[in-house]
Structure 1
């Protein structure tokens, strides 16, 4: 008996949430959440950053799971190490389709892509391989994807800002200076704030 792996293409969907300004949209900010988060709650962190002309778009990772055991709170993620190439491809494809839909209704002058934590790598890959005309990439407390080609890296790094809290529990304090120096040597602008692994409202306002 032979074991054969096969693939079947099936229709899928991408859930997202919007923070819509009162005035005419001049700027769009796509925000990609971190591991185990849902946009239903994650978007609330940006209520205080909302402006009169900026549309915030929060897509949700397609992988949803129970955060503990087999019941209770649910979170979402962008990918795992299993069949990662396919997850990367589908993430880029679905985000491209989302962008096409958004700009048909909200044409804008400026596009920003912000990736928080796990969402940062997905954001960088989307900017590198997708069709979004990104003016500014914000990689917030995230690991810059090491698998970008030299050409893709050149495109992404020059428009990227890396943001990190001084007390971020996922980035040991003893290693932060070396990490920031490495990013700076790649041409990436870096910003630090006093805080932990979270969105810092005043810092985000100043960057945007």
Structure 2
């Protein structure tokens, strides 16, 4: 047998969801990356208590959808796996470039990059690709890709880096916590604000709401 891996290029499409309207009164634009098992429309519910007229939220949709819990009822999605990662990253970046081009974000608004769980790695990798300037980079209960370096983020000017973790997150052992904090320090030095809360691997609306107070 002589198996061969072959690549083809073809057109594809994907959805994304937004919350609120982009108007002259908008103060902040968020791009929010959901965790594994989410769909973008359900992830947006965590942002629905932010002041509607001041916040416009863009939620990209992870492309790989699947049925959750081995049942053919509820659908979730995943951003990347260890299979063919580099090619999938390129596909993702092309999709995210198209999302932002479609939105035509005004430079006058504060810009917030937000990643939860698996979405943390996507937010950070996309920043290294796009070189987007953002006012806040929010890293919520997710792992930092090992390939990233301090040089990848030196272009960020006056960006507030915020790390959010639950003190009983089932995915973060003490060893993993130490590892992730060391990565943060390596990338951003002391320029990190740490927010800890009582809870597990979950999104807290009150924490999101407080990010803009």
- TM range, normalised to the smaller chain? 0.7 to 0.9
1:1-208 matched pairs, under 5 angstroms:
2-21=2-21, 24-69=25-70, 71-103=72-104, 108-155=108-155, 159-172=160-173, 174-175=174-175, 178-179=178-179, 181-182=181-182, 185-186=185-186, 187=189, 188-208=192-212
1:68-122 Cα deviation digits (max 9, x unpaired): 3362211111011100111111212211211111126x66422111010001100
Give the Å deviation of 1:180. Answer: 6.7
Query: Which secondary structure does the structure 2 equivalent of 1:6 belong to?
Result: coil
Residue ranges of structure 2 left out of the alignment (5+ in a row): none
CA distance in 2, matches of 1:163, 1:100: 29
Residue ranges of structure 1 left out of the alignment (5+ in a row): none
The total of aligned residue pairs comes to 206
Change (3 A) 1:153 1:182: same
CA distance in 2, matches of 1:80, 1:170: 17
TM-score, with structure 1 as normaliser:
0.86
Query: Which secondary structure does the structure 1 equivalent of 2:195 belong to?
Result: strand
How well do the aligned residues superpose, as a CA RMSD in angstroms? 2.5
CA distance in 1, matches of 2:177, 2:122: 24
Change (3 A) 1:200 1:131: same
Aligned partners of 2:47 and 2:208 also within 8 Å: no
1:12-45 Cα deviation digits (max 9, x unpaired): 1221111114852232101100001112222112
TM-score, with structure 2 as normaliser:
0.85
CA distance in 1, matches of 2:206, 2:194: 16
Aligned partners of 2:115 and 2:139 also within 8 Å: yes
Change (3 A) 1:59 1:132: same
CA distance in 1, matches of 2:57, 2:138: 14
Structure 1 range deviating more: 137-146 or 45-54: 45-54
Change (3 A) 1:90 1:119: same
Aligned partners of 2:49 and 2:209 also within 8 Å: no
Give the Å deviation of 1:177. Answer: 6.3
Aligned partners of 1:17 and 1:58 also within 8 Å: yes
Structure 1 range deviating more: 38-47 or 115-124: 38-47
